[in-house]
Amino acid sequence: MARVLVADDEPDIRRIIGIFLRRVGHEIVEADDGMSAMALMEELRPDAAVVDVVMPGMTGIELTRTIRSVPHLAPTPIIMLSARTLPHEVEEGMKSGANMYLSKPFSPSTLIAAVNRVLNA
């Protein structure tokens, strides 16, 4: 079992991701904005993070860059999840330090496989 931070400003998305990942044994920690997500990263040091790109306060791009700049958090696998899927948007997410970039809407099996992949990398 791994602890996974889910950061998304949409409560329904957080709930759905939580349901999927709990079913396969993961513990879920939720944040509704980038600042809260960063605080939880520092406090709980999750094993992985699923991060929405568009969030208030601190975007997923900014959150990822911040995580990558903190030595003890930098190795944390990060999956970006977004409806923004134009090539330059995906490239920006990957350049910020994301391990994977998934598009919304997503299938449960794709999300579970992505989380398991980054955890086992």
Output the CA torsion 39→44→19→76 (10° steps). 90
Measured CA to CA, the distance from residue 121 to residue 103 in angstroms comes to 21
Q: What is the structure's pLDDT at 110?
A: 95
Average pLDDT over residues 25-52: 97
The structure tokens listed for 41 are: 């990263």
Domain chopping of the chain, boundaries: 3-120
Helix axes 60-69, 34-44, angle to 10 degrees: 30
Which fold is adopted by the domain 3-120?
Answer: Rossmann fold (3.40.50)
Whether the pLDDT of residue 121 is over 80: the answer is no
pTM of the model: 0.95
